[in-house]
Amino acid sequence: MSLAPVLSPQNVQDQVSAAEWQARVDLAACYRLVALHGWDDLIFTHISAKVPGTDDFLINPYGLMFHEITASSLVKVDQAGNKLMDSPYEINPAGYTIHSAIHEVRHDVACVIHTHTPAGVAVSAQKQGVLPISQQSLFVLSSLAYHAYEGVALNHEEKARLQADLGESNFLMLHNHGLLTCGGTIADTFLMMFTFQRACDIQVLAQNGGTELIAIEPQILAGAKAMVAAVTKSAQGMGGALAWPALLRKLDLQDPGYKS
């Protein structure tokens, strides 16, 4: 395949609803922000977003780097993984398994982010998982679930187990694999991943210090869980709506091509 269709895909704005186009722009921005923060893993992780008002979702074209993804290049699929618009791209089979599983049962979820960062995978390989040693960890621990490693996610039978393990949580640690967040908006889901990633970065750095760690008191953790639950249900959600405009301003200065 030549580089032309990869870097300059046909603009599809006039083929989709205004709501879908906005979701495409925000999801493409999310991909570029993940790349900007260094959380991408070449072409091998994935972010999805529901097409507003439907059960269909958008996901990355398999083979593109995250910094190349545009609103128009995103692939629209149904719950069975069928492409719903002409596209020269296929999708990551493992990405389909994970994202379709969550979108199938979590109707409150508009976006799912999955990463393979070094610190995220490192903590996912620790039996105790996320430790209550930082303020960031409190937000994660307020809604954290774990899923055992079953190999590359190509077995559709794993979907039921992943769904059961996730339950109503918004943070999922995939043992020996990486991190996953899901939320009601793309903005909230990105902010959750920022917090999850930062908690893992801090944990690995703290452990590298080689001294005994100070755990946050259980009563503080319990109080934080109640606080975060209240914040999540508020009109501001997880705070993504507050951070997202600033993130887009930064992205527009450095990498505005996502909007095409």
Length of the chain: 260
Backbone dihedral angles phi then psi of residue 229, each to the nearest 5 degrees: -60, -40
The pLDDT of 208-232, averaged and rounded, is 85
pLDDT surpassing 70 at residue 238: no
Pick the more confident residue, 14 or 231.
14
Confidence tier at 117 by pLDDT (50, 70, 90)? very high
Contact 237, 154 (CB under 8 A): no
- CATH number of the domain where residue 169 is located: 3.40.225.10
Domain count within the chain: 1
pTM: 0.92
At residue 227, the pLDDT reads 78
At residue 26, the pLDDT reads 97
Confidence tier at 235 by pLDDT (50, 70, 90)? low
* Residue 217: domain span: 3-259
pLDDT surpassing 90 at residue 1: no
Closest among 125, 140, 122, 114 to 205, alpha carbons compared: 122
Confidence tier at 154 by pLDDT (50, 70, 90)? confident
At residue 38, the pLDDT reads 97
Q: Report pLDDT digits (tens) over 95-105.
A: 889 999 999 99
